Amino acid sequence: MIRPSVSIIVPVYNAEKTLRRCLDSIRCQSWREIEVLLVNDGSTDGSRAICREYCERDKRFHLIDQERNSGVADSRNRAIAAATGKYLQFADSDDWLRSDATERMAEAAEQSGCELVVAGFYRVLERRIYAHRALFMSGKVTRERFVEGLMRAPANFYYGVLWNKLFRTDIVRLQKIACPDNLDWCEDTVFNLSYLAHAKHVMVLPEPVYFYTKQKGSLSSAGKVLPDMMNSRAEVFERYRKLYQTAKPHSRNTIAPLGYWVSVPMDGGYSVDGYRNPQFYAKRMEKKSKRRQRKVERRRVLRRGRLYPPRFFPGMEEE
């Protein structure tokens, strides 16, 4: 059997300290049929030289060079346009992959016929490694079943990131799916939700295949400007709501998408400093809702928020 090619996309910006570890893990993948698209996004350190070195050593590596920094979304979109593989896989330059990561996901896609493959991952925090396995399900599931699980933890990294998933290139291009470059955060989540709308089945692999490093002071852990973050989160919420309506899960809980606003401080991976007042989020959400019972829904969301430990909502007052 001819094994299909997988295009692995790695945006690179000033990552000389961790880049070799990432590229070595990709170069040693047991699935040899890969092309690696390195997008140097205007790096000012030695990252570009490292990328060129790997391209010279291994013909499967290709460099897309950008003189000016344009952001991770634009870098990924450029690589998607250049990809020739049947599948798309993503990696961040400060992370690394298990040696059989691509093989496990590509074989799962080929054998199951699923349009999307999702795997667990390891979170590396300083000197500790935590395994994050599949949430709520495993094996081949329908989109409806997957969306039900998604709504139980909508802001969890497991669902939001790109690097623990395998996508079909033809679907991405046919449906013109891209990472939005008008959002400062959540572009991964928007891409995933857009893609999921066109996936009939999802293959869920319980075992972790990717090592995600959470660095102090990184973009994912730094405090954010609240207005910009709210705009991004509002965009994601609208997509969650539309996906839930079109997917028609078996459990028709009409307020399920609203739990996203409560899940953000818990699972989103960001500083909680900007999320001190859940009432603020519920009010924002309420304005977007056209349902007659939106006030009732807001109260139910706030009631759900009180189920979490108080430390996640400092300053929240009881009604």
pLDDT digits (tens, 9 = 90+) for 210-241: 999 975 444 344 444 555 566 666 667 676 66
Asked if 96 and 21 count as a contact pair (C-beta separation under 8 A), the reply is yes
Over residues 2-13, the mean pLDDT reads 93
- Residue 12, Cα to own-chain centre: how many angstroms? 17
**Is residue 308 over pLDDT 50?**
no
Over residues 4-11, the mean pLDDT reads 96
Closest CA to 294 of 261, 262, 259, 258: 258
SS3 of 98, please?
Answer: coil
Asked if 50 and 20 count as a contact pair (C-beta separation under 8 A), the reply is yes
**Is residue 86 over pLDDT 90?**
yes
Q: CA separation (Å) from 179 to 60, 74, 91, 119?
A: 24, 7, 14, 21
Q: Where are the domains of the chain?
A: 6-213, 226-312
Residues 177-212 have pLDDT tens digits of 999 887 766 788 889 999 999 999 999 999 999 999
Asked if 285 and 277 count as a contact pair (C-beta separation under 8 A), the reply is no
| pLDDT the model gives residue 319 | 35
Kindly report the number of other CB atoms within 10 A of residue 237's CB atom: 21
Residues 237-290 have pLDDT tens digits of 676 667 666 666 545 555 455 555 445 544 444 433 333 344 444 444 445 444
Phi first, then psi: give them for residue 97, nearest 5 degrees. -110, 150
Residues 113-168 have pLDDT tens digits of 999 999 999 999 878 898 888 777 889 999 989 988 887 777 677 888 999 999 99
**Is residue 92 over pLDDT 50?**
yes
Residues 128 and 196: their CA atoms lie apart, in Å, by 32
CATH superfamily of 6-213: Spore Coat Polysaccharide Biosynthesis Protein SpsA; Chain A (3.90.550.10)
| pLDDT the model gives residue 274 | 33
Residues 179 and 78: their CA atoms lie apart, in Å, by 10
Over residues 166-180, the mean pLDDT reads 96
| pLDDT the model gives residue 227 | 56
Phi first, then psi: give them for residue 158, nearest 5 degrees. -55, -40
**Whole-structure pTM value:** 0.76
Over residues 293-317, the mean pLDDT reads 44
Q: Return the higher-pLDDT residue of 305 and 19.
A: 19
Residues 32-58 have pLDDT tens digits of 999 999 999 999 999 999 999 999 999
Q: Return the higher-pLDDT residue of 293 and 17.
A: 17
Q: Return the higher-pLDDT residue of 307 and 103.
A: 103
| pLDDT the model gives residue 201 | 97
